[in-house]
Amino acid sequence: MAINQRVSTWQDTQRELSSELLEFQKQLFTVTSLSELGINEAILDELVPSFDNLPADKYDLELYGWDEPKRFRAQTNAKVVLTGETWSIEYLPQEAFTQSSAQDDQRAKPRLFEMIDPAVLHNAEFQKMILAGANMVKAQFPYVTQLKIGIHQMLIVTKDSRDPATNSPEGMHQDGLNCPFIISAIPFVLEDVQGGTAESIIYASDKTTELWRGQLQRGQVIFMDDMYLWHTVTPMGSEHADILTRRGIFGFDFVILDSM
């Protein structure tokens, strides 16, 4: 679908889904893997230790009324610039961000997180992962030459099957950063996660029609629209009550800065 046709169709997101609009929205996400994107999956084991050092998300206790942290998080912004056929990466100073412009959205409060470990940011395969995402955006918007990419590293934990944790405590949502596309999740850590839990769900613009549902495995990637589609993750259950259950992911938000 042509870019101008896609833009005009954004005006239809609140109306009842026609068969044509539903078919269009089915094209706005893909589930792939690091290996399919040309990334060496050895990175999965290389970066697992970095999740052990993530600071607790101090905002969750206030936002969701939790008694103790369930999420641990770091975040970094990068600017990627295309010169000829080559992307370059520049990591930017830390800055606060909000995830929605709606005043009643709990995520509207500015939040500032610690920077992701430089050893992660400068890992060669991790940088290839960033640029693979940039190329996926460029495949949708061929004119793109500069992007700002928000990189999110998150770990959720629970020891009690009666107290599940989730990467989406806000429920069904859009990331709300005016990003045409996001990588909502790439799992790196899956420890004692019960089958049938921690399922990613992608919804159409009517917030009802499920387009995809599944428990992502390590190295799987969801690349999706964040202007039409909605997404969530179901609570993570524990296989064993006496073992710390952990799910660690990277996510990316892509903001177009410039184009030809």
Dump pLDDT digits (tens) for 220-245: 999 999 988 999 999 998 888 778 89
* Single-letter code of the amino acid located at 64: Y
Q: What is the pLDDT of residue 104?
A: 56
Q: What percent of the chain has pLDDT over 70?
A: 86
Give whole-number Cα distances, 61 to 56, 68, 131, 169, in Å: 10, 7, 34, 11
Q: What is the pLDDT of residue 2?
A: 39
Joined tokens for residue 138: 């460029």
pLDDT beyond 80 at 137: yes
Residue range 105-125: mean pLDDT, rounded: 87
Identify which of 217, 220, 43 has the alpha carbon closest to the alpha carbon of residue 126.
Answer: 43
CA distance linking residue 234 with residue 199, whole number of Å: 5
Residue with tokens 């992502």: 216
Dump pLDDT digits (tens) for 55-114: 998 887 777 777 788 899 999 999 999 999 899 999 999 988 776 644 455 666 778 899
CA distance linking residue 142 with residue 150, whole number of Å: 20
Residue range 183-200: mean pLDDT, rounded: 94
Identify which of 182, 126, 190, 186 has the alpha carbon closest to the alpha carbon of residue 156.
Answer: 190
pLDDT beyond 50 at 187: yes
